[in-house]
Amino acid sequence: MGWSWMKRVLPGALIFFLAISWSLAAWSQVEEIVVTVRKKGENLQDVPMSVSAMGAAEIERKGIKDIADIAQFSTSLQFDESFAQSDTRIAVRGLSPTRGRQNVALLVDGVDVSSEAITSSGGSLLLNTRLVDIQRIEVVLGPQMALYGRSAFNGAIQYITKDAADEFEADFKLDASKADNSGGARQYEAIAGVSGPIFGDALGLRLNGALWDDEGFHRNQITGKRIGGGEGYGLALTLNSDIGDNLSFKFRAEYTDDESQPSAQAFLKFNTELDVPQGAFDAGVAECFPDFVDFVATNPANIPDYANNQAYRDRGLRLLDPAYVATLDPATLNPNLPEFVIPAGGGPYCEERTPVRVGRVPDGDSLAVTLAPDPTTPGVDYQGFDREMFRLSFVASYEAESWSLKSMTGLTHDDNIEQQDTNAFAIASPDAGKFLDGNPNTFGFNNSKATKQFSQDIYARTSLDGPLNGTLGALYWREWVDNRSKSITAQGSGSHCFWNSVSGVLFDIENACPGYTEIPVAPYQQAGAQFRKLKPSPADRDTEHWSIYGTLDFEFAENWTLAFDGRYNHEKVDVEGPIFFDPGASGGPGGLNPCGIFFRPCQTFDDWQADGNWFADKFFPWTDEAVDGTDLGAFVPDEALLASIPDLCRQQDPDAVQRSIAEGPFQIERDAEGIPVWNNGVVPVLDADGKAVLTPGGPDMFNPWCVDQEGNTDSWFSPKVRLEWAAGDDMLFYVSWSRARKPGGFSLLTIGSSGLNRELAEFDAEKMVVWEVGANTNWFENTIVLNGSVFFQDFTDKQALTSALGNDGRLISKIENAGSAEVWGSEISIDWSPITEFLGGNWRTSLGWTWLPVREYTDFVISSTSPTTSAHARNCTPDGELCSISYTGKKLENSAENSVNGFVQYMIPLTASVSTYIETDVFWQSKRFVGITNNLWTDSILEFNLRIGLEGERWDALLYVDNLLDDDTVRSVGGGPGLGCCFILASGLDVAGDPPRPRSAVMVDLPLFNTAFLPDPRIIGARISYSFGGG
Tens digit of each residue's pLDDT (9 = 90 or more) over 47-67: 899 999 999 999 999 999 888
* Residue, of 499 and 466, whose pLDDT is higher: 466
Q: Of 420-434, 594-608, 911-925, which one has max mean pLDDT? A: 911-925
Task: Please give the pLDDT value at position 998.
Answer: 44
Task: Please give the pLDDT value at position 801.
Answer: 66
**CA–CA dist 577, 752 (Å, integer):** 9
Task: Please give the pLDDT value at position 297.
Answer: 58
- What's the rounded mean pLDDT across residues 922-944? 95
Q: Look at residue 682 and tell me if it is in a domain.
A: yes
* Residue, of 599 and 192, whose pLDDT is higher: 192
pLDDT > 90? residue 683: no
Q: State the pLDDT confidence band at 583, using cuts at 50, 70 and 90.
A: low
- What's the rounded mean pLDDT across residues 413-428? 91
- What's the rounded mean pLDDT across residues 593-615? 47
pLDDT > 60? residue 770: yes
Closest CA to 989 of 679, 586, 708, 655: 679
pLDDT > 70? residue 41: yes
- What's the rounded mean pLDDT across residues 752-768? 82
Across 55-59, 86-90, 141-145, least confident range: 86-90
Residue type, 614: W
pLDDT > 70? residue 871: yes
Percent share of the chain, pLDDT over 90: 49
pLDDT > 60? residue 624: yes
Q: State the pLDDT confidence band at 6, using cuts at 50, 70 and 90.
A: very low
pLDDT > 80? residue 296: no
For every residue of 386-437, DSSP letters joined together read: EEEEEEEEEEEEEE-SSEEEEEEEEEEEEEEEEEEESS----B-GGGGGG-B
* Residue, of 666 and 218, whose pLDDT is higher: 218
Q: Look at residue 930 and tell me if it is in a domain.
A: no
Across 114-123, 145-154, 601-610, 625-634, least confident range: 601-610
Q: Of 75-79, 513-517, 954-958, which one has max mean pLDDT? A: 954-958
* Residue, of 899 and 529, whose pLDDT is higher: 899
* Residue, of 997 and 122, whose pLDDT is higher: 122
Mean of per-residue pLDDT scores for the chain = 82
In terms of residues, how long is the chain? Answer: 1031
pLDDT > 80? residue 751: no
Return the DSSP state at 163.
P
Distance (Å) of CA 1017 to CA 180, 269, 361: 7, 23, 17
What sign does the CA torsion over 655, 658, 664, 665 have? Answer: positive
Across 60-69, 166-175, 1020-1029, least confident range: 60-69
Tens digit of each residue's pLDDT (9 = 90 or more) over 844-864: 999 999 999 999 999 999 888
**CA–CA dist 364, 237 (Å, integer):** 41
Task: Please give the pLDDT value at position 823.
Answer: 96
Sequence-separated (6 or more) residues with CB below 8 Å from residue 114: 101, 102, 105, 106, 107, 123, 126, 127, 150, 151
Assess contact for 896 and 932: CB atoms under 8 A: no
CATH number at residue 70: 2.170.130.10
Sequence-separated (6 or more) residues with CB below 8 Å from residue 922: 900, 901, 902, 903, 904, 942, 943, 944
Sequence-separated (6 or more) residues with CB below 8 Å from residue 234: 130, 132, 209, 210, 254, 255, 256, 257, 258
- What's the rounded mean pLDDT across residues 95-119? 85
Assess contact for 886 and 873: CB atoms under 8 A: yes
Tens digit of each residue's pLDDT (9 = 90 or more) over 298-326: 554 445 444 556 777 888 899 999 999 99
Start-to-end C-alpha separation, the chain: 49
Q: Look at residue 104 and tell me if it is in a domain.
A: yes
Task: Please give the pLDDT value at position 841.
Answer: 73
Strand-pair partners of 1031: none
* Residue, of 44 and 307, whose pLDDT is higher: 44
Q: Look at residue 88 and tell me if it is in a domain.
A: yes
Q: State the pLDDT confidence band at 999, using cuts at 50, 70 and 90.
A: very low
Strand-pair partners of 540: 576
Boundary residue ending a domain (142, 160, 178): 160
Across 18-27, 174-183, 595-604, least confident range: 18-27
Q: Of 40-49, 680-689, 926-935, which one has max mean pLDDT? A: 926-935
Task: Please give the pLDDT value at position 498.
Answer: 56
Across 20-29, 442-451, 682-691, least confident range: 20-29
Boundary residue ending a domain (140, 160, 180): 160
Closest CA to 516 of 441, 591, 619: 441
Q: Look at residue 702 and tell me if it is in a domain.
A: no
- What's the rounded mean pLDDT across residues 915-930? 95
Tens digit of each residue's pLDDT (9 = 90 or more) over 259-286: 999 999 999 999 999 999 999 999 988 8
Closest CA to 316 of 984, 811, 867, 935: 984
**CA–CA dist 798, 768 (Å, integer):** 10
Structural domain including 110 reads 26-160
Cis peptide before 601, with omega less than 30 degrees from 0? yes
Q: Look at residue 131 and tell me if it is in a domain.
A: yes
Across 221-225, 485-489, 631-635, least confident range: 631-635
Tens digit of each residue's pLDDT (9 = 90 or more) over 708-728: 899 999 999 999 999 999 998
Q: State the pLDDT confidence band at 967, using cuts at 50, 70 and 90.
A: very high
pLDDT > 90? residue 785: yes
* Strand-pair category, 488-491 with 591-592: parallel
Task: Please give the pLDDT value at position 889.
Answer: 94
| Structural Rg of the chain based on CA atoms | 31
* Residue, of 530 and 245, whose pLDDT is higher: 245
Q: State the pLDDT confidence band at 501, using cuts at 50, 70 and 90.
A: low
Return the DSSP state at 676.
B
Q: State the pLDDT confidence band at 616, using cuts at 50, 70 and 90.
A: very low
For residue 1027, the tally of other CB atoms under 10 A from its CB is 16
Q: Look at residue 80 and tell me if it is in a domain.
A: yes
The domain total for the chain is 2
- What's the rounded mean pLDDT across residues 686-714? 60
Task: Please give the pLDDT value at position 633.
Answer: 63
Q: State the pLDDT confidence band at 611, using cuts at 50, 70 and 90.
A: low
Q: Look at residue 295 and tell me if it is in a domain.
A: no
Boundary residue ending a domain (125, 160, 195): 160
**CA–CA dist 311, 334 (Å, integer):** 12
Task: Please give the pLDDT value at position 692.
Answer: 40
Across 74-78, 294-298, 403-407, 635-639, least confident range: 294-298
Task: Please give the pLDDT value at position 669.
Answer: 40
pLDDT > 90? residue 789: yes
Task: Please give the pLDDT value at position 802.
Answer: 67
Task: Please give the pLDDT value at position 454.
Answer: 97
Tens digit of each residue's pLDDT (9 = 90 or more) over 520-564: 888 878 777 776 777 788 889 999 999 999 999 999 999 999 999
Sequence-separated (6 or more) residues with CB below 8 Å from residue 647: none
Sequence-separated (6 or more) residues with CB below 8 Å from residue 375: 435, 437, 442, 444, 522, 523, 525, 526, 529
